[in-house]
Amino acid sequence: MAVWALGINHQTAPLDVRGRFAFALDQVPEALRRFRASVARQPEAALLSTCNRTELYCAADEPLIEPAAHWLAETAGVPPETLMRHAYVLREDAAARHAFRVASGLDSMVLGEAQILGQLKDAVRVADEAGALGTTLHQLFQRSFAVAKQVRSSTEIGAHSISMAAAAVRLAGQLFEDLRDIRILFVGAGEMIELAATHFAARQPRAMVIANRTLERGEKLAARFGAEVMRLSDLPTRLHEFDAVVSCTASTLPLIGLGMVESALKRRRHRPMFMVDLAVPRDIEAEVKALDDVYLYTVDDLAAVVQTGKDQRQAAVAQAEAIIDAGVQSFMHWLRQRDPHAGVVALIRDLQAQTDAWRAAEIARARRLLARGEDVDTVLEALSRGLTQKMLHGALAELHSGDEASRRHTAEVVSRLFLRGRLDASAERSGTGPAPRP
């Protein structure tokens, strides 16, 4: 069973690219159904999508990287090559290590943040409910949760963590002399807005208002903070009332456009506005950032702020990586136990991949020589010599290294691998029958 992951994150893709590949949690079951139906053999699959990453984890008899990339690119409405410019593909132990690092907060923009673990658990639960999760991925993720718990309890990885919400409050404090004098609008009522509202409420702003598509959910959140509730449809007429705006919804299109903000600034007589867009895709049009009296920050803009305290956590990172390494080894051991031939199959696959790479390199070299007008026989001779040297290099190097016993063992193995026909013929001539097969 091959395990692999295909994804993009805040380290490999800018915000606008990540926005093209974002999935709301309620979209994931149908997305998984369409993906699994798009390939010949339905793989185990889970889809994790947050503001910082979109990752597809799979387990199948063989890696299905190319069809997965085509499906994901088609879903986002971009060419596959655009996706692959920003994507990473991880296989076997590398895929397991990545899943464990994500769960533990080591791959997050906010090093050590705990929110990603809940998001990963939601993604796994949804995949399981959709019937897309099998034994292999179930083991992978349950082990990732256990490793994350051990990292959290055994190290100080999150001791100095600054969340996006806390970073937003810090930036607002740099713009406004006293946050108790400002009016804040929160657009949305999800987990991130709840976290942001909690941080801002601690600074006792003059007013807090929550705008949400569903008033009932907005009212429930507002009741916790003594905040007012308004409809999203009232944004154009009321935006000017607010000194600060924090937005994070699952909308696929911006809710706050350039024209709306320009009108609000005019009614505010160009008093500054602080705006934070925590949504992927964007809730606030990118052009708003160019306005003189608007200070707009996205999740990527907050990266420098949230890295504060990173130096103090490096020792904890080393401890966490050791825990993760042990978890990866344990998972790979479990995976190999399920298929005693898995190691041999993997070795065969790696050998084939290596020989394919050698062949491609020599063919490319031969074509360059032919294009320069070199004699065909000379080029063929160089091609065959190049392949022979590449294939024998490792064996010859081993024959000249190590102690006498290891060289003797290597000589026996090399003889069986490369001189089998000669050994068989020699055995037949001596009357002892064919040489034994390894």
Just list the catalytic residues: 51
Q: Is 90 helix (H, G, I), strand (E, B) or coil?
A: strand
Residue for token pair 């290590």: 97
Provide the token pair at 342: 């898995």
Strand partners, 231: 212
Within 13 A of 34's CA, how many CA atoms are on the CB side?
A: 11
The neighbour count for residue 159, using CB atoms within 10 Å, is 11
Distance from C-alpha of 334 to C-alpha of 338, rounded to nearest angstrom: 7
Q: What are phi and psi of 52, to 5 degrees?
A: -105, -10
Within 13 A of 227's CA, how many CA atoms are on the CB side?
A: 30
Select from 33, 6, 4, 24 the least CA-distant residue to 280. 24
Distance from C-alpha of 212 to C-alpha of 185, rounded to nearest angstrom: 11
Select from 347, 342, 348, 381 the least CA-distant residue to 365. 381
The neighbour count for residue 432, using CB atoms within 10 Å, is 9
Distance from C-alpha of 24 to C-alpha of 247, rounded to nearest angstrom: 16
Burial class of residue 87 in the structure, from the number of CB atoms within 10 Å of its CB (0-12 exposed, 13-18 middle, 19+ buried): buried
DSSP H/E element including 9 = strand 2-9
